[in-house]
Structure 1
Amino acid sequence: MDALPAWPKGKKLVHLDLKGAPPRIDYLHKLIGLFSGLGANGILVEYEDMFPYEGELKVLQSTQHSPYSREEVLSIQEVAKSQGLEVIPLVQTFGHMENFSPPPHPPPLSQFVLKHKSLWGLREVGHCLGTLNPHREEGVRLVEEMLRQVVELHPGSTSLHIGADEVYLLGEGEESRRWLSTPGRTVQQLFLSHVTRVAKGVREAWPNLNMIMWDDMLRGMDHDTLKGSGLVGLVQLMLWDYNPTLDVKNTVYLLERYSGAGLSELWAASAFKGSTNVHTCVTSTQRHVDNHLQWLQVAAALPEGIHMLGIALTGWQRYDHLSVLCELLPLALPSLASSLQTLTHGQFSPEAQSRVTKTLGISSVEVETMESPSSTTGDSVLFPGRRLAELVVELTAILQSEELRHFEDNMFVRGWFTPYHRQRKIVSPLIAQQLQCQAMTLLALVEQRVAMVKKEMVRLYPASTAQEWVEQHVSPVVAPLQRVLEDIRASLLEMVPQIVSASMVGQ
């Protein structure tokens, strides 16, 4: 593929999603330095429950691990500034409000508060925890208070992202249905009325603060609706698409449509991790490079007059508050480095790849095939979190192995240790012991690697993150093997108890 023009001038923001696996502050400081060295000039920080909310909003803080302190939030900005990076905070104000709550009555519960029955009234519909009911004044006031606390703790920031993506099931709540029963009213108007109210409140409080919002809820709106939305001159739209086969023609058309309606200040949003699959553990660099190559084609095809302010490289840690952890940051740093260099060079050229491998001290841009520090000229200091990345790759390979994943499909299990045999405890002791040995060997290998992963993970993340990662990504895979071992032991105890008794000697 021929080289395209480098990404047009403007910000290259690295998105930090902190609603899962929040880095320890010293590790985060190292990452910020790396982002700068890789070519970023800003970070888009989605604090979620890691922000040190105060007063009535203290209930929003994480209960699984301590949120960052006010001093730590300020230190993030100080380190970023020293590295030439702008910090843009992101606060969700409509959708993805799973961690949103009103003041605690009674005191805070150690759970996402919108699960609490007495607070269901702040949801648009009872079974959707993410969408705020736009008709409740107390909900709007709390959004405004969230924004106030975040903005005031970011005195040097010139921009604020107000979210507003994926506002699921809007219009389906009882109050919304009543509102929509008036002829001429639409769900689009309902969305716009809430967002413009929030945005105007921000503009009144901080006249010089630029506002960014996600674009997806506006994609279906026609020219007249967009032009009369109340958002023109008020917000900057960030159009997101994380697909490696992004539709260039349609994306250019959409950007032209926004610009033609007066929403001429625009951002793009790509992804360097967290968009492959909800439970992905190991990042594919090539997939994300391909996404950025598509965005370069979009940028090259834009007509004069469209003002692209920059691009945010998103790194989602969860799809939402209630989903599992996606790839941890160390697993995605080669992807991030490669994506940034792709934007800088206009292609993922040998020169771009060389810059990545030299900067990170690795032999391959794919985290699955990078060599260990001892076999390269690089040093692990160049790649903060490298050891954890290596250990997770090794453990994931074991967990995905045919021997482990399909243990119950092996010939001896299907021939001599089926559910029929296990239920009746009629088994061949010789084969059962052979299966027991195989299963115990596999489990011992997994347990050894898990211990190494956890030890390294708690250096970079809270202990609760290590526990969650293991329970989500390891436990479900080894559970069938553990059940086989339990059934083998029960069967042998029934048929040849002396074998089981002998195996207990010395334990």
Structure 2
Amino acid sequence: NLKNLAYNESPEKEKAKSAFSGHRIVHLDLKGAPPKVSYYKEFFPFIKTLGATGVLMEYEDMFPYSIDVSAHNAYTAGDIKEILRYANESSLEVIPLIQTFGHLEFVLKLDKFKHLREVFKYPQAICPSNNEPGVTPLIWDDNLRTLTVSELDEWRLGKLIEPVVWKYTADVEMELSPQMWSTYSVVFPAIWIASSFKGARNPDAVTNQINFYYENHKSWMKLVAKYSDKITFRGVITTGWQRFDHFSVLCELLPVSIPSLAVNLLYLSTELQNLIDISIEAQGACKCDFNLVQASHTDNHEGHCSFPGSKVFDAVNKLPHLLYALQRVKDKSSYRGWFSPYNLKHSFSSPVYVEAATNNLLVLEAKLINLEN
């Protein structure tokens, strides 16, 4: 039951939790399945009510660049202005995210820009040569973690950038050393952290497991409490990756992951710390008639929700059941023995076994078509 899902959730043993006082930024990854402009009109007020203070917009090739790198379905300049207006109406700060040193595939994959790659074979990274433009970049901190105070000071990084320390596991403290935090506390006046509400499990994940992402946020807040007397935490960016890079398949679509976003924003923005209590609040915010956390753990979504994108959420969460039923058909000996690619190629098989192998396929096909529609 739900209580068993909320492991380590005994309030009497935990210290009182306060809401995270810094920025609470929601990351929107637009490299694949970007929302329609009209979606933001519903989405921004929704996340504002859950406690978000801003959005990190990873435009990728959806931005209307003046050079030929934008996707065929990229937003127009007017679209961008409209998106920014919707964000402003919800009092959300907008931070643009431009992948450069790690994931610039959307530019460097193109023949005309191959010469800009740092290593010609790999389209991930550009070779930096231009001076910074006078803004304070937020940079993912991977390549800083092993550097010493003197090395960071040599490049004056404490005056040029603010690091975003990212980790999407259930125990972030175990993987981020005390020495790293000690170094950062000396060099950087302020630090950001990055958690995740989607897109951090498997590159082809279809559904979202809320408990996985809740444990990540819970672990981060425990670490923030530990170091807050030494470090100024400017904000938390709860990331929502759409795919692992520009060449991989989509994973955990945004509408499918809205309940996870709701749970984790409520955890960050309120004093609630028990997953059972948070799930009740999230259920109300998402206007669902079933418990979201329990359903995501069991892949049983019998019920209805009403939030921005809930129809996609309902449809996608039925898909694993249909795929499982299809796999059971394919596992039958009659299917494997008499409905193989060889049999199909040569139209050569036994009718009695073909009928046995396919008697459920038409029903499954109808259900899949219904989902698609």
TM-score, normalising length: structure 2: 0.87
In the alignment, structure 1 segments of 5+ residues that lack a partner are 102-111, 141-196, 204-208, 374-378, 453-507
User: What's 1:456 paired with?
Assistant: none
Q: Counterparts of 1:350 and 1:449 in 2: how far apart (Å)? A: 31
User: What's 1:202 paired with?
Assistant: 133
- Deviation track 1:129-148 (CA, whole Å, cap 9, x = no partner) reads 111134xx6xx4xxxxxxxx
User: What's 1:152 paired with?
Assistant: none
1:346 offset after TM fit, Å? 5.3
User: What's 2:4 paired with?
Assistant: none
2:200 alignment partner AA: S
Change (3 A) 1:49 1:13: same
SS of equivalent to 2:106: coil
1:85 offset after TM fit, Å? 1.2
Equivalent pair of 1:18/1:46 in contact (CA under 8 Å): yes
Q: Counterparts of 1:421 and 1:356 in 2: how far apart (Å)? A: 51
Q: Counterparts of 2:246 and 2:281 in 1: how far apart (Å)? A: 35
SS of equivalent to 2:218: helix
User: What's 2:56 paired with?
Assistant: 44
User: What's 1:68 paired with?
Assistant: 75
2:147 alignment partner AA: M
- Bigger mean CA deviation after superposition, 268-277 or 364-373: 364-373
Q: Counterparts of 2:364 and 2:141 in 1: how far apart (Å)? A: 48
User: What's 1:121 paired with?
Assistant: 115
More helix by share: 1
Q: Counterparts of 2:333 and 2:361 in 1: how far apart (Å)? A: 14
User: What's 1:90 paired with?
Assistant: 97
Query: Which among 208, 211, 231 is matched to residue 137 of structure 2?
Result: 211
Is residue 412 from structure 1 mapped to residue 334 from structure 2 by the alignment?
A: yes
2:352 alignment partner AA: L
Q: How does 1:68-217 map to 2 (within 5 A)?
A: 68-100=75-107, 112-113=109-110, 116=111, 119-134=113-128, 140=130, 197=131, 201-203=132-134, 209-217=135-143
Equivalent pair of 2:332/2:357 in contact (CA under 8 Å): no
Higher relative contact order (CA 8 A, sep 6+): 2
Q: Counterparts of 1:421 and 1:77 in 2: how far apart (Å)? A: 56
User: What's 1:272 paired with?
Assistant: 197
In the alignment, structure 2 segments of 5+ residues that lack a partner are 1-8
SS of equivalent to 1:298: helix
User: What's 2:263 paired with?
Assistant: 338
User: What's 1:392 paired with?
Assistant: 316
1:268 offset after TM fit, Å? 0.5
Is residue 231 from structure 1 mapped to residue 157 from structure 2 by the alignment?
A: yes
1:349 offset after TM fit, Å? 4.2
1:131 alignment partner AA: A
Identity rate, percent: 32
Q: Counterparts of 2:292 and 2:314 in 1: how far apart (Å)? A: 13
Is residue 364 from structure 1 mapped to residue 291 from structure 2 by the alignment?
A: yes
SS of equivalent to 1:412: helix
- Deviation track 1:351-403 (CA, whole Å, cap 9, x = no partner) reads 32222111111121235445534xxxxx72xx11111100111123211x1x4
SS of equivalent to 2:164: strand
Q: Counterparts of 1:423 and 1:71 in 2: how far apart (Å)? A: 52
1:417 offset after TM fit, Å? 5.1
Equivalent pair of 2:329/2:358 in contact (CA under 8 Å): no
Change (3 A) 1:298 1:413: same
Equivalent pair of 2:329/2:357 in contact (CA under 8 Å): no
Equivalent pair of 1:17/1:47 in contact (CA under 8 Å): yes
1:296 offset after TM fit, Å? 1.0
SS of equivalent to 2:157: coil
Q: How does 1:225-304 map to 2 (within 5 A)?
A: 225-248=151-174, 250=176, 252-260=178-186, 262-304=187-229
Q: Counterparts of 1:395 and 1:410 in 2: how far apart (Å)? A: 21
- Deviation track 1:337-356 (CA, whole Å, cap 9, x = no partner) reads 10111222252344322221
- Deviation track 1:87-131 (CA, whole Å, cap 9, x = no partner) reads 111112322111125xxxxxxxxxx41xx2x54321122321111
Q: Counterparts of 2:204 and 2:137 in 1: how far apart (Å)? A: 32
1:20 offset after TM fit, Å? 1.2
Equivalent pair of 1:282/1:331 in contact (CA under 8 Å): yes
Is residue 23 from structure 1 mapped to residue 35 from structure 2 by the alignment?
A: yes
SS of equivalent to 1:16: strand
Change (3 A) 1:414 1:329: closer
SS of equivalent to 2:357: helix
1:418 offset after TM fit, Å? 5.9
User: What's 1:326 paired with?
Assistant: 251
User: What's 2:23 paired with?
Assistant: 11
Rg (Cα) greater in structure: 1
Change (3 A) 1:251 1:295: farther
Give the number of aligned pairs: 355
1:14 offset after TM fit, Å? 0.4
SS of equivalent to 1:84: coil
Equivalent pair of 2:28/2:239 in contact (CA under 8 Å): yes
Q: Counterparts of 2:175 and 2:362 in 1: how far apart (Å)? A: 55
1:24 offset after TM fit, Å? 0.4
1:412 offset after TM fit, Å? 1.8
Change (3 A) 1:254 1:431: same
